[in-house]
Amino acid sequence: MEPTRIIARIAASLLVASVSLVSAAAVSAQTDVDRMKRDIELRVSTHQFMGSVLVAKGDRLLINQGHGSANLEWNIPNSPDTKFRLGSITKQFTATCILLLQERGKLKVEAPIKEYLRDAPPAWDKITIFNLLTHTSGVPNYTSFPEYSTLKATARTPEQLVASFRDKPLEFEPGSQMRYSNSGYVLLGYLIEKIAGQGYAQFLKQNVFDPVGMRNTGYDSTTALIDHRASGYAPGPSGTVHADYIDMSVPFSAGGLYSTTGDLMRWERALFGGKVLSAASLEAMTTAFKDNYAFGLAVTTTPTGDKIISHGGGINGFNTELIYAKREDVVVAVLANLNGPAATEIATDLSKIARGEKTILISDRKPIRLQAGVFDRYAGHYQFSSGVMMSVWRDADRFLTQLPGQPAVEVFPESEQDFFAKVVDAQITFHADGAGPVTDLVLHQNGKDQTATRMDEAVAKQRADALALKIKNQTPSPGTESELRRHITELIAGTPDFGRMGPELTEATRQALPQIQSLLRPLGALQSLQFKGVGPAGADIYDVKFEHGTVQWKIQLTQDGKIGTSFFGPPQ
């Protein structure tokens, strides 16, 4: 349910100089707003974004608009008054409640939670409220449990939510690491109710929302009728679909609130204007502990020294991002009712523009006219080290790329070698051996460069035909089951054989190994693997049964028998 975000010389000339400066600033501000709008409109037109966007700088409201539909079936448009589920933006409100209770002498953030939860298990003895606030408690994240896909569809009390992770072993010694855990923020909501003697939603309304004037914010309910509430959607294989159902009691104080962009601006102005918390509490709330995380907020510093305080959210059918830039006094709120990365990408882009930071937007990129024959030189198949093939071809005057199991993506030339996509923030550079044949391409995406080597077309056709036949027949690749069994055993033990993995998977596994272990070890001993089929990209899919649960695992081997793809999650 997660962070981002850039003198007159003589009296006679003073008036002229002032007018010139104001005019230039006005032109620049309008240019910036126009760039922002183009960035948003491009993502709307390519079906990446529906939602509402607000950008404010100082006392100027630069953008406050809705885009797309709050309800597609009734064709009701989004507007600045549309209410969206916030997901993990909720966490900063939960943290604020804890600090308000501390200011009133009801608790101490540095105190162990067992002082306030008399039935806390012995494993929680060293966990403090501070650890819960900063994701350093070691309590495992309940939304990552294999059974979460079942749990999320049923109403739960806070007690039942706590019970779902109460007896799970800690992932690490409290305070020693930072690992994002919705369970910690559920525990904080549970503490608020115990200490305040009233419900979480009621405490928030009386102590935060009403005093700040947030009349369009509250705790969401699956059954209640809420005016101007958006429906949540997700991308599907053939277009937009309704998001999976979630009972809103389940995210609780980790992600259960709804709001509007206007209310979130009121919140930012009140919080950072010192109208909610004392100066000491606000300083504590916005001081990062580990991995740039403070109390329900991510806190980073730009290269130019601006402090960026932000948090995102993701919940069934909704993605959100709220950013505050302290020095430039910029607020950006982007609330989307279509799952995907667009909310975070838009908020990050708009924040940079509003702060005057140089950035290249997708909408800034201008295609050039390119002779068809130039692109024909690039047409063919390219293979990444993971074994995944990318197809590149021309359809009349359109240049297209495609990865297995994904829709084709049109790319546009910026130069003879450099191309960009509009539906996703990605660029491709083709490399040639001088005037000779094209040797490879580099995919630039998410801050990483991945090289794919050009394939012999006969070999590429053979592999494409084999993949199509495999998908048609739904048969696993030889040796996949035994390789997966070995792979899982090594991951649980913390001793993966990186020599049997592709480079990208090796890098990802090295970074995430402690978290992978924390998810797998509570499941107990590996018991059985059951082949379920072949995915649209060619990965073999297995239901993996452990002593205490089942996960679905997708694995794909490279041509030399290494593991190129390995991914597990809740069973489908």
Helices (H), 273-407: 279-285, 342-354, 372-376
Distance of CA 223 to the CA centre of its chain: 27
Q: Is the pLDDT of residue 436 over 80?
A: no
For tokens 């009728």, the residue is 225
pLDDT in tens, 250-305: 999 999 999 999 999 999 999 999 999 999 999 999 999 999 999 999 999 988 88
pLDDT band at 364 (very low <50, low <70, confident <90, very high): confident
Q: Is the pLDDT of residue 2 over 80?
A: no
Contact, 297 vs 92, CB < 8 A? yes
Q: Is the pLDDT of residue 43 over 80?
A: yes
The region of weakest confidence among 310-314, 482-486, 518-522 is 518-522
The packing angle between helices 503-520 and 480-493, to 10°, is 60
Q: What's the rounded mean pLDDT across residues 497-506? A: 90
Q: What was the pLDDT predicted at 30? A: 62
pLDDT in tens, 182-216: 999 999 999 999 999 999 999 999 999 999 999 99
473's CB contacts (< 8 A; 6+ apart) are: none
In CATH terms, 372-466 corresponds, of 2.30.30, 3.30.450, 2.40.128, 1.20.1740, to 2.40.128
What's this model's pTM, rounded to 2 decimal places?
Answer: 0.79
Q: Which long-range contacts (CB under 8 A, 24 or more apart) does 414-417 make?
A: 414/365, 414/366, 414/367, 414/368, 415/368, 416/370, 416/374
Domain boundaries, the chain: 61-363, 372-466, 474-569
307's CB contacts (< 8 A; 6+ apart) are: 286, 299, 300, 301, 325, 326, 327
Q: β-strand 398-402 against 409-413: which pairing, if any?
A: antiparallel
Q: What's the rounded mean pLDDT across residues 147-153? A: 88
The region of weakest confidence among 2-16, 207-221, 332-346 is 2-16
Q: β-strand 549-557 against 563-569: which pairing, if any?
A: antiparallel
Q: What was the pLDDT predicted at 455? A: 94
Mean predicted lDDT score pLDDT of the chain: 90
pLDDT band at 29 (very low <50, low <70, confident <90, very high): low
Q: What was the pLDDT predicted at 7? A: 22
What value, to the nearest 5°, has the Cα angle with vertex 134 and ends 129 and 139? 70
Q: What was the pLDDT predicted at 25? A: 39
Q: What was the pLDDT predicted at 4? A: 29
Q: Is the pLDDT of residue 15 over 50?
A: no
Q: Is the pLDDT of residue 243 over 80?
A: yes
Report the alpha-carbon distance of residue 347 to residue 36 in Å, rounded. Answer: 10
Q: What's the rounded mean pLDDT across residues 522-536? A: 91
Question: CB burial class (10 A; 0-12, 13-18, 19+) of residue 227?
Answer: exposed
Q: What was the pLDDT predicted at 349? A: 94
Report the alpha-carbon distance of residue 545 to residue 525 in Å, rounded. Answer: 9
Contact, 445 vs 426, CB < 8 A? yes
Q: What's the rounded mean pLDDT across residues 224-253? A: 94
Q: Is the pLDDT of residue 522 over 60?
A: yes
Q: Is the pLDDT of residue 27 over 60?
A: no
pLDDT band at 554 (very low <50, low <70, confident <90, very high): very high
Report the alpha-carbon distance of residue 149 to residue 146 in Å, rounded. Answer: 7
What value, to the nearest 5°, has the Cα angle with vertex 90 and ends 98 and 519? 95
Cα–Cα distances in Å, from 54 out to 40, 316, 476? 11, 22, 49
Q: β-strand 389-395 against 69-71: which pairing, if any?
A: unpaired
Report the alpha-carbon distance of residue 557 to residue 484 in Å, rounded. Answer: 10
Contact, 62 vs 351, CB < 8 A? no
Q: What was the pLDDT predicted at 516? A: 87
pLDDT band at 108 (very low <50, low <70, confident <90, very high): very high
Q: What was the pLDDT predicted at 144? A: 86
Q: Do 474-569 and 61-363 have the same topology in CATH?
A: no
pLDDT in tens, 156-182: 999 999 999 999 999 899 999 999 999
Contact, 390 vs 382, CB < 8 A? yes
Q: What was the pLDDT predicted at 23? A: 31
The region of weakest confidence among 1-5, 348-352, 371-375, 427-431 is 1-5
**Range from 21-25, 331-335, 565-569 that averages highest in pLDDT:** 331-335
Longest dimension (CA), the chain: 87
Residue 548 token pair: 């205490």
Shortest CA distance to 528 belongs to which of 480, 485, 469, 478?
A: 485
Report the alpha-carbon distance of residue 530 to residue 143 in Å, rounded. Answer: 24
The region of weakest confidence among 11-20, 47-56, 146-155, 500-509 is 11-20
Contact, 530 vs 514, CB < 8 A? no
Architecture of the structural domain at 61-363: 3-Layer(aba) Sandwich (3.40)
Q: How many CB atoms lie within 10 A of CB 277?
A: 21
The region of weakest confidence among 15-24, 63-72, 490-499, 561-570 is 15-24
What fold does the segment set 474-569 form as a domain?
Nuclear Transport Factor 2; Chain: A, (3.10.450)
